[in-house]
Amino acid sequence: MSRRTLLNKYQILNAVDSSLTQTSTPTDISGLDYITYQLLADALVDSVLEVQVCNDVVLSPSSVFVSLEFSNVLSIIGAADIDYMVTVENQGFRHAKIQLTNDGGSGTINAWISGTTRSA
């Protein structure tokens, strides 16, 4: 019998100012096959989202996070939509976080993370 691992949805960014670069606290995603980030943005937000990962067993100030490459830039544009979801298949990563970089907008952003394993 397999064991199912879940990361229940919890908030990682709470009404952060999108006019500044914002980075979430890293989340341990080892044991998860999929993670999902949900973002809720004000209508004036214009930011770029990066999902960053690190494979250090224990994080330290010298830990290096690298951004995942996607086929498109992950733009968070409140004028187009205010609710965004990004699902990432875990390829053996241990820690993940998101970084939002302003691309000319203003307003606040909230973000949540959740995760699961493949069905048995």
Residue 31 lies in a domain: yes
**DSSP state at residue 24:** P
Mean pLDDT along residues 59-67: 96
In-domain check, residue 36:
yes
Residue 67 sits in a domain whose CATH number is 2.60.120
* Residue 1 is assigned to a structural domain of this protein: no
Give dist(CA 70, CA 9) in Å, integer: 23
Domain contains 71: yes
Q: What is the mean pLDDT of residues 31-48?
A: 96
Do the domain assignments include residue 61? yes
How remote is the C-alpha of 46 from its chain's centroid? 16
Q: What is the mean pLDDT of residues 6-15?
A: 96
- Residue pointed to by tokens 């214009």: 46
**Does residue 82 form part of some domain?**
yes
> How far is Cα 104 from Cα 118, in angstroms, rounded to an integer?
38
For the segment 54-68, the average pLDDT, to the nearest whole number, is 96
Domain residue limits at 57: 6-116
The answer to whether position 11 is within a domain reads: yes
What 3-state class would DSSP assign to 47?
strand
Structurally, the chain folds into a number of domains equal to 1
The predicted model scores a pTM of 0.92
